[in-house]
Structures are given as C-alpha cells and as structure tokens.
Amino acid sequence: MHHLIRLTHAPDFAEIFIAELSEQGYEAFEETPEGVLAYIPSELYQAHVLEEMQAQYADFLLAYTVEEVAQQNWNAQWEASYEPVIVAGKCLIKSSFHEILTTYPYEILINPKMSFGTGHHETTTLMLEHILELELAGKAVLDAGCGTGILAILAYMRGAGKVEGFDIEEWAVENAQENAILNHCPDLKIWLGTIESVALPAEYDLLIANIQRNVLLAEMHEYAARMKKGGTLLLSGFYQKDVQDLLACAAAHGFTFRGLKIRNDWVALNLHFS
C-alpha cells in the first residue's frame, strides 16, 4: 500500500514541495492544476513531515490531505504527463520514451526519477539559457546541487574542458551519473556531499548553483573560494524580491552584476568574479 498526499499550494511552488518530499522517501509525483499529488510507501509515511512543511510554508502550502491507496504503476503515469522541452530554440530536453523528429544543436536525454531538473521549471530553463550564451570551450565548470545533472551535461556538450557536480542526496548523484552516461559524457564527475565536504581542488571558470535563496546566501563565501578571477557565477532558485539580498551578499564576496533573466517571477543571475 501507499499513502497519497494531495497538496494545494500557491502557484510556482510545486517543485519546491517535490524537492522537500523527495528527501523524505516520496517516490512519485504528479502536478495538477490545484497542486501536487505525492506518493510514499505506507511504511515510510510520517505525519510530522507534512506538519513541519505546513508550518514552514504556511503562506504557500494552503492545505493537504492524506489517504491510503493501492500500489500503482508510477512510472507509466509519469511518462504519460512528461513532455519534452525546447530551450531558446537550441536545446531539446527529452526522455528515453520521446520520439522527436526535429533536430537541435543540443539534445539532452534526461530520465529524472526523483531528481530536480527536467527543464520544465523556470529556474532550470533560465539557467540553461544562460549556459547557451556563455563561451565554455576548455573551461572548468562546477554544478553545485546538480539534481539530474542537466546543467552540467549542457556545459559538457558546449565544450567545457572539465565538468564536475555534486549533490547531497545519494539518489540524485546516482541519477546524474546515469544521465551523464545516457548523454555520452564519460568524463563528467558527480560527487556525493556538500560544497564544504566534497574535495574540489580546482578553481572554476563557471560555477552553477540552482538551489534556493537561503542556501545561496549561506554558501556565497564557498563559491567565491572556488572561483577563478574573471569567472562566472550563475545563481537561480529564488524570486525577484530576493535579488537585492543576493546581489548585496555577492558583492561582499567579490562578485559584480552582469545580467539576469526572469520568468514568472523566478530569476537567474549572471555574476562576474573579480
């Protein structure tokens, strides 16, 4: 048996709640016009997880209900709703079951399982657009909190000389490694851990962090410590109202504003390290 959780929430919060629940053993999700359906094996269900989320996101998690349901084919349901994504007319994001006749300069095969990053969320799309605009030939790239590995994979495809990524979740690391193999990126290295715990000896020309506001603020000094002079920092996972706080924190660590992209109130920043 499984428990089915129905979340009703404010717009644009689906992937935040999916990411939160993924860390608690939830194994399948479905987005609906009202919110998110989340499934977890009944033996793993813990009521306090939802209670704590409700308290943390009281302004955005409007309501939730819980019911017990019989086992289903989650993968078949996910495949029925997962559509391919085209970014800036140049990059196609698809899964192994999609048949696309049109060709694009960059085609990324992503089987996301429970990891964040399929190109559907605004933050992922904005970061992909930034990466498409950068000159990466021979550059060293680090993807902090890599999820599916989609951003690191595009950097690799665009000619980066060294690409590494890490995530705090073991299943995300395994998923990113699988996606790297699917996309013929044998030298893409994915590590398990935090930016403090993972041994990262190199200095990077490009550091990518699509996480969330509080983590970005807390880790800004770590990003600066790993950047080459003249390097680029791409940040996303936050709203327009958070931009000034992030710019102020970044400026205190040697970063200057270069540009931004906005979609549906989500923002991706391009910063220069001097």
- 53 and 121 within one domain: no
pLDDT in tens, 41-71: 888 899 999 999 999 999 899 999 999 887 6
* DSSP state, residue 125: H
Residue 272 pLDDT level (bands cut at 50, 70, 90): very high
CATH number at residue 45: 3.30.70
Count of domains for the chain: 2
pLDDT in tens, 162-206: 999 999 888 789 989 999 999 999 999 999 999 988 867 679 999
- 60 and 191 within one domain: no
Relative to beta strand 266-273, strand 255-263 is antiparallel
The model's pTM: 0.74
pLDDT above 70: residue 88? yes
Structural domain including 61 reads 2-77
Domain boundary, last residue among 43, 77, 111: 77
Provide CB contacts within 8 A for 181, sequence distance 6+: none
Relative to beta strand 189-192, strand 2-9 is unpaired
- 137 and 13 within one domain: no
Rounding to the nearest 10 degrees, give the CA dihedral for residues 16, 17, 22, 24. Answer: 130
